[in-house]
């Protein structure tokens, strides 16, 4: 069972939006509840698609709020699926056959990764300078305030709790495509590193 704080449509209340898709349940009495004990989603054998929380379509002013239901004509993005209609996945490389000299570390290349410093320029420089080697993203939160470009042939692996946090006005307007492309591109390459945050406005 998933338990969350009481959901409210009011802005700035720290709500967590939830999106469930293609979930199979067994032996579960309640699928989603809040901390007051209220049931948000009763249990069933399967959940095709269910969303509770704010929904944005096209712009920051196009905000609606789902109290718990299907949202629009939701479909899986075709380019992310395999031939059977499942999300494409593959095992991450472990690089166990590579010598330690094949790795370079983000923090040795000038990145702070402290969750405070703007690491955009340093992280971009690390990406370019590590081509031909394996860039090891050390544990930490790397604040990015603009798009970064991953050069062809890049190899990137992250330590536990390493994450890239998109922050600032560049990423605050859902009407512009640049941050959507950023999210899509980066998350395909190393989804375990990514946390998308707007420290100025959610």
Q: What is the pLDDT of residues 27-70, one digit of tens each?
A: 888 888 888 888 888 888 888 888 888 877 665 567 788 888 88
Is 86 part of a structural domain of the chain? Answer: no
Secondary structure, 3-state, 43-94: CCCEEEEEEEEEEECCCCCCEEEEEEECCCCCCCCHHHECCCCCECCCCCCC
Residues 127 and 39 in one domain: no
Is 187 part of a structural domain of the chain? Answer: yes
Across the chain, mean pLDDT equals: 79
Rounded to 5, what percent of the chain is helix, strand, coil?
20, 35, 45
Q: What is the pLDDT of residue 138?
A: 94
Secondary structure, 3-state, 26-53: CCCCEEEEECCCCEEEECCCEEEEEEEE
Q: What is the pLDDT of residue 202?
A: 28
Range(s) of the domain holding residue 33: 2-80
Q: What is the pLDDT of residue 109?
A: 96
Is 88 part of a structural domain of the chain? Answer: no
Q: What is the pLDDT of residues 162-195, one digit of tens each?
A: 888 888 888 776 565 454 334 433 443 444 444 4
Is 202 part of a structural domain of the chain? Answer: no
Residues 37 and 119 in one domain: no
Mean of pLDDT values over 110-133: 95
Residues 23 and 53 in one domain: yes
What size, in residues, is the chain? 202
**pTM for this prediction:** 0.53
Q: How far apart are CA 47 and CA 38, in angstroms?
A: 19
Is 95 part of a structural domain of the chain? Answer: no
Is 93 part of a structural domain of the chain? Answer: no
Mean of pLDDT values over 119-130: 96
Number of domains in the chain: 2
Among candidates 59, 153, 145, 159, which has minimal Cα distance to 106? Answer: 159
Is 75 part of a structural domain of the chain? Answer: yes
Q: How far apart are CA 187 and CA 202, in angstroms?
A: 19
Is 67 part of a structural domain of the chain? Answer: yes
Residues 165 and 108 in one domain: yes
Residues 21 and 106 in one domain: no
């Amino acid at each position: 069972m998933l338990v969350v704080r009481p959901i409210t449509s009011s802005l700035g209340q720290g709500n967590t939006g939830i999106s469930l898709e293609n979930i199979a349940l067994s032996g579960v009495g309640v699928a989603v509840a809040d901390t007051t004990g209220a049931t948000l989603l009763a249990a069933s054998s399967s959940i095709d698609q269910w969303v509770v929380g704010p929904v944005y379509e096209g712009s920051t002013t196009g905000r609606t709020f789902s109290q718990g239901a299907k949202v629009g004509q939701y479909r899986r993005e075709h380019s992310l699926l395999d031939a059977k209609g499942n999300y494409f996945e593959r095992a991450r490389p472990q690089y166990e056959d590579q010598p330690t000299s094949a790795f370079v570390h983000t923090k040795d290349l000038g990145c702070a990764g402290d969750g405070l410093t703007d690491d955009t320029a340093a992280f971009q420089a690390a990406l370019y300078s590590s081509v031909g080697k394996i860039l090891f993203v050390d544990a930490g939160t790397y604040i990015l305030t603009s798009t970064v470009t991953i050069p062809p042939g890049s190899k990137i692996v992250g330590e536990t709790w390493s994450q890239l946090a998109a922050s600032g006005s560049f990423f605050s307007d859902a009407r512009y495509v640049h941050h959507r492309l950023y999210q899509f591109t980066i998350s395909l390459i190393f989804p375990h590193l990514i946390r998308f945050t707007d420290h100025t406005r959610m």
